[in-house]
Structure 1
Amino acid sequence: TFGQGAGCAADLQYWEQTARQIRRCAAGDKIVVEKSTLPVRTAAAMTRILGSGDSRAHFEVLSNPEFLAEGTAIADLGSPDRVLIGGNDTPAGRAAVAELVALYSAWVPRERILTANVWSSELSKLAANAFLAQRVSSINAISEICEATEADVTEVARAVGMDSRIGAKFLKAGVGFGGSCFKKDILNLVYLCESYGLKAAADYWRQVVDFNNHQQERFVARMLRAMFNTVAGKRLALLGFAFKADTGDTRESPAIRIASLLAEERAVVVVNDPQALDNARRDLSACADRIVFEADPYRAVQDADALALLTDWRLYRELDYARIFAAMRKPAFVFDGRNALDHEALSRLGFNVYAVGKSPRTNA
């Protein structure tokens, strides 16, 4: 957020302080393990700091990035897809890698423990998150085509995902990705590419983030068109604010941008989430005078003109939508930003249903 590389580069002041503290306190040789997502070649800088001055200790720096998903971190740690350990290709480096491999071997099958050089390990974490985010933006780009051509993005994703070369994961269209990692790591990758003069690669990865922003703007624009080209003065209930279900984390949540854009259109925005309301108040403080925060989903939709599902909490799939329809103003609209609801059933109740990547189901 400041200085050269602002908005893209990682803030590295804290790892440097940590490295200096380790050097100051170490009484003997140490293996230092990077767990955070760091730019490629950070380990080299850390090694220089640890080895500077009058320190007599020897340090081996390993890269061991975390591949844990929020909401399932404990399960991911207990049964990981893989553990990646990067070290120097020297006798001391190989010995340090072997120590960490032995530690993980207590519960992780050896074939799931991968070893690499430090730079490959550091880059792999950035690349993994970039690939996952790219899949989200890719299927969302297809969703835009589906809406224009009356194709169904769920059917397209199923057909594409059954190709064993592609697979079905992260092919669910919606309002875009959020969380603390994807955007940060992609922009870190963009900055890395730019630092090495790799403009085409930087532009390619930046487009993943740009399209994610576009998807949220497009979602709001579709709401406006469906609701007679204005939402001014209309009550809009946003169901869900966390970036994904089963967490209260709202960092980079698509709901922040969507709620803000709707507030700019002078809608009465009502935010509901079972865990994230406190964070939502903080995230929307700039437009808090136009936002209502409501803990009860049924109260949130009372007299609403539309509801928009932004987080696919199980709670929202199990609501009584007949009761909700009766409580809303007519015509009543549902905008399913996660394609998590039963659209046919909602249409039978009388809702006008707009789902991402699908043709609308309209009623009078």
Structure 2
Amino acid sequence: MAVIADQCPHIQVTVVDLNEERISAWNHNDLSRLPVYEPGLDVVVKRSRDRNLHFTTEVDEAIAAADMVFLSVNTPTKQRGVGAGQASDLRWVEASARQVAAAARGHTIVVEKSTLPVRTAEAVKTILQAAEGSGGGSKTFSVLSNPEFLAEGTAIRDLEQPDRVLIGGEDPAAIEALAQLYRAWVPEERILRTNIWSSELSKLTANAFLAQRVSSINGIAALCEATGADVREVARAIGTDSRIGPKFLQAGPGFGGSCFQKDILNLVYLCRHYGLEEVARYWELVVGLNTWQQHRIAQLVVNKLFGTVSGKRLGVLGFAFKADTNDTREAPAIRMCRDLIEEGAQLAIVDPKVEQSQITRDLGCAPLDSDPAAASSYRLLYGDGGWFSALSPLEAARGADAVLILTEWEHYHQLDWNEIAAAMRRPSWLFDARAVADGSAARAAGMNVWRVGEG
């Protein structure tokens, strides 16, 4: 919405949320306090806020005044009931549709922006149509699907220079109205029009295909480690094939974020719903291999450290699921840190953008140095295992047997390995799960080095 406001100064864009604290943060004068960290977002918000970009908790007023409403709510995986663990929880989509149905005035174009299972628009349309004709007979709706194809860390660039804009719908006038908005900065040939069901399914399919590439290259990385090949050389060789291309061929600890796993599991659920068991099992394996990769690397750390990490300090560099974001949803670091804590490791975790409170929520336990009573109770469950925050990679490494790079932050590419090695206990290890560190420099400093996909 910030990019739309920036590119279309003649359009009034109002972002609404029931969370007052979050809206206050969006309105705060200090742009470093925006609720979402995304490179370039603060600049875009600064240009548009209070001009034509507004943030408010007055939901009904904003809906009533709108010609077009974007539904952009969360659609997490269901935790209970039918489809638990795979199907999307659509309670907030339904609640939003009902609120739009009640508060809208005149003709309103309702745009699905959330990642939704195919045929969700049918439910949205049913709710909206039930409200048509109310309020003096002047209330009507059109429903469109307009999924977003962007990546955290490059979201602003992806929005300003999109590969394509996808609009699915049945009402030509509504489709044209939304296309006209994007035409302010997107070339016409990049604006694709489909039926609404194809649009909904395209988003799930895109995420599934990207995640599939990650799992595929990680499977090959494990084979490279066993055979003496180098996955980066293999990736370069196959990436020059125009039929394959070079993107998403970087081996690592697996995919994370809010979309990939959730969307694949939803695809699995849909395939089973329509009786396509073999297709469902295929996509299930993509998620299974991703989880296996994280457990595999954690177990490899234990094995390299003489079969035990109980009571040992390990420095963990990076906790976000990828660089240039503070998002930790489904971050590989979560599963790997839990595995190591369960083995008894004491983790010193550092990340430039992830708050200690978020790590606490993700790991399900407070840091060892925050509450002695809680730490004592935790040790009853996990022995010597636990975690605490570090302010820098050097601090995380101090007294550690190993450091693990789990997020590919740029400054991890140029660490002073002589300084880090001198602060560690010998023999010391670098486990580079992102293959971003200078392995030669670490070896020259006297460290043992493991890099993902390197035999």
- Bin for the TM-score computed over the shorter chain: over 0.9
What SS does the aligned partner of 1:18 have? helix
Shift of 1:188: 1.0
Partner AA of 2:160 in structure 1? G
Q: 2:408 maps to what in 1?
A: 312
Q: 1:256 maps to what in 2?
A: 334
Q: 2:148 maps to what in 1?
A: 66
Question: Higher mean Cα deviation, 273-282 or 132-141?
Answer: 273-282
- How many residue pairs align between the two structures? 355
Q: 1:276 maps to what in 2?
A: 354
Asked whether 1:242 is paired with 2:320, we answer yes
Q: Which runs of structure 2 are paired with 1:170-181 in the superposition (5 Å)?
A: 170-181=248-259
Q: 2:11 maps to what in 1?
A: none
Q: 2:364 maps to what in 1?
A: 285
Q: Residue 329 of structure 1 is aligned with which of 420, 425, 443?
A: 425
Does structure 1 conserve the Cα–Cα contact (< 8 Å) formed by 2:414 and 2:438?
Answer: no
What SS does the aligned partner of 1:312 have? coil
What percent identity do the matched residue pairs reach? 57
In structure 1, the gaps of 5 or more residues are: 360-364
Mapped partners of 2:346, 2:174: distance in 1: 58
Cα deviation digits, residues 29-70 of structure 1 (max 9, x gap): 221111110110111111111111553433211000011211
Mapped partners of 2:366, 2:213: distance in 1: 32
Mapped partners of 1:171, 1:51: distance in 2: 46
Shift of 1:351: 1.0
Q: 1:139 maps to what in 2?
A: 217
Q: 1:205 maps to what in 2?
A: 283
Asked whether 1:130 is paired with 2:212, we answer no
Partner AA of 1:141 in structure 2? G
Q: Which runs of structure 2 are paired with 1:91-170 in the superposition (5 Å)?
A: 93-170=171-248
Question: Higher mean Cα deviation, 266-275 or 282-291?
Answer: 282-291
Shift of 1:287: 7.0
Partner AA of 2:145 in structure 1? S
Please list every run of at least 4 consecutive aligned residues from structure 1 whose deviation after the TM superposition is greater than 2 angstroms. 53-58, 285-289
In structure 2, the gaps of 5 or more residues are: 1-78, 368-374, 376-385
Partner AA of 2:416 in structure 1? D
Cα deviation digits, residues 189-243 of structure 1 (max 9, x gap): 1111111111111111111111111000110121122111111121111111010
Does structure 1 conserve the Cα–Cα contact (< 8 Å) formed by 2:405 and 2:433?
Answer: yes
Partner AA of 1:62 in structure 2? L
Partner AA of 1:74 in structure 2? I
Shift of 1:296: 2.1
Does structure 1 conserve the Cα–Cα contact (< 8 Å) formed by 2:413 and 2:437?
Answer: yes
Q: Residue 161 of structure 2 is aligned with which of 55, 76, 79?
A: 79
Question: Higher mean Cα deviation, 22-31 or 246-255?
Answer: 22-31
Does structure 2 conserve the Cα–Cα contact (< 8 Å) formed by 1:142 and 1:357?
Answer: yes
Does structure 1 conserve the Cα–Cα contact (< 8 Å) formed by 2:312 and 2:346?
Answer: yes
Partner AA of 1:285 in structure 2? G
Cα deviation digits, residues 307-363 of structure 1 (max 9, x gap): 00000111222221100011111111000000101212221221110011112xxxx
Does structure 2 conserve the Cα–Cα contact (< 8 Å) formed by 1:277 and 1:295?
Answer: no
Does structure 1 conserve the Cα–Cα contact (< 8 Å) formed by 2:415 and 2:437?
Answer: no
Q: 1:299 maps to what in 2?
A: 395
Partner AA of 2:359 in structure 1? A
Mapped partners of 2:130, 2:400: distance in 1: 64
Question: Higher mean Cα deviation, 24-33 or 285-294?
Answer: 285-294
Q: Residue 34 of structure 1 is aligned with which of 112, 132, 135?
A: 112
Asked whether 1:10 is paired with 2:88, we answer yes
Mapped partners of 1:134, 1:165: distance in 2: 16
Mapped partners of 1:346, 1:299: distance in 2: 17
